[in-house]
Amino acid sequence: MNTAAIKTKLGFNKYQTENLYKTVNILKRKNLYWITQASGWGLFTITNLLIISSFESIALNRIILWMILGITGLTASHFYRYYIRKNNWSVLPLRKIAPRVITGSFITGLIIYIPVFFAGYLLGVEKDAQHLTASIVAGIINLTSIMLVWSLIYFAIHYFENSKKAEIETLIFEAAVKDFELKTLKAQLNPHFMFNAMNSIRALIEEDPQNAKDAITKLSNIMRYTLRIERTETVPLSDELKTIQDYLDLEKIRFEERLQYNISSTPSADRVEIPPMMVQTLVENGIKHGISKLTGGGKIDLTASTNESTLIIQIRNNGQFNEDALKISRGFGISNTKQRLSLLYGEKASLTLNNENKNLVLATLKIPLGDTKL
């Protein structure tokens, strides 16, 4: 029995493992939180008692009062943390967090002071009646300061954790993009296209040797381009269009007069960096799902231009766009192109396909200029 079968037999699966890991992680965080809380307030209480004992002897009732203060502080700060988490303060910008923290620290300091004040009265801890008001104000200010320090530590820890989380998410995102890019590159050099091209070239060798040589050059250009782009994230549109022209010239050998094409691009569009093989995918899709299915063949018309913020590429081909048939198809093209666009540009890029008329399909690709997530 292999490892997968053993895991299945024992009842393990990916989701159970992930849930178990999350549960253990939550328990660890809870334990760490309570250890930190108890240690912090315990250290605060002991330190103050040691400082006071270095100047004077401490009565038992004062020691008890300081212990009450530590326990009250721990409890109040815990509920303060609950309020912070419930209202998602940690995701707010600094200008919104600051006034909330100041106010929250003051209120929490006051909440801690009130029971401690009455506990001191019940325990018989003497207060200087002459300076009682000043003592109360000073006590509240001191506890407010303590809570401000507590808040600073709390948000510093969360900021550190969030920055690490964002860094990990960025790495995961980049890995996903690379994975999609690799899958795309592997999918583009279609084996059927290679076999068809080589068969067409073989047929040309005897009847038209010069065209056969030119076809071999074009095929090698495509293969060289595919190998080169494995080491780069983007390419100039002009390089992509040259490869598309070589691809269409090779397809013309197979389709002969059934395939016509026109490619036009403005100088500003030629310089725009795009994800490699993305436009090639759309052209190949137009031939595979459109022109190849027509007895009389058809034409591919590709235009590229820019406006102030966007590269606009339009590809027209004869045929009919059928979304249901496209979903059934096992082709890699459209859905994965949309996924690549989403990963690289978010909502700023788009790909739309529609029937411009009864015998013409229009694919419109829009890419923001100089704006990727990578």
Q: What is the full DSSP assignment across 331-348?
A: -SHHHHHHHHHHHHHGGG
| In the predicted structure, residue 85 carries a pLDDT above the cut 90 | no
Portion of the chain with pLDDT greater than 90, in percent: 26
Q: Residue ranges per domain, the chain? A: 3-175, 189-368
Average pLDDT over residues 238-259: 90
Q: Can you give the pTM of this predicted structure?
A: 0.53
Alpha carbon of residue 61 to chain centroid: 57
222 has pLDDT over 70: yes
Contact between 269 and 304 (Cβ < 8 Å): yes
pLDDT at 23: 56
pLDDT tens column, 203-221: 788 888 888 888 899 889 8
Do strands 259-265 and 298-306 pair parallel, antiparallel, or not at all (unpaired)?
Answer: parallel
Q: Does domain 189-368 have CATH number 3.20.20.450?
A: no
Q: What pLDDT is recorded for position 14?
A: 42
pLDDT of residue 1: 42
pLDDT of 147 strictly over 60: yes
- In this structure, the dihedral spanned by the alpha carbons of residues 231, 237, 238 and 241, taken in order and rounded to 10 degrees, is 90
Confidence band of 33 (pLDDT split at 50, 70, 90): confident
Residue 310 has pLDDT above 90, yes or no: yes
Ranges of H-type helices in 54-190: 60-86, 94-123, 132-188
39-72 pLDDT per residue, tens: 889 898 898 889 888 888 888 888 898 899 999 9
Give the per-residue pLDDT at 31. 80
Instruction: Give the separation between CA 197 and CA 201, rounded to whole angstroms.
Output: 6
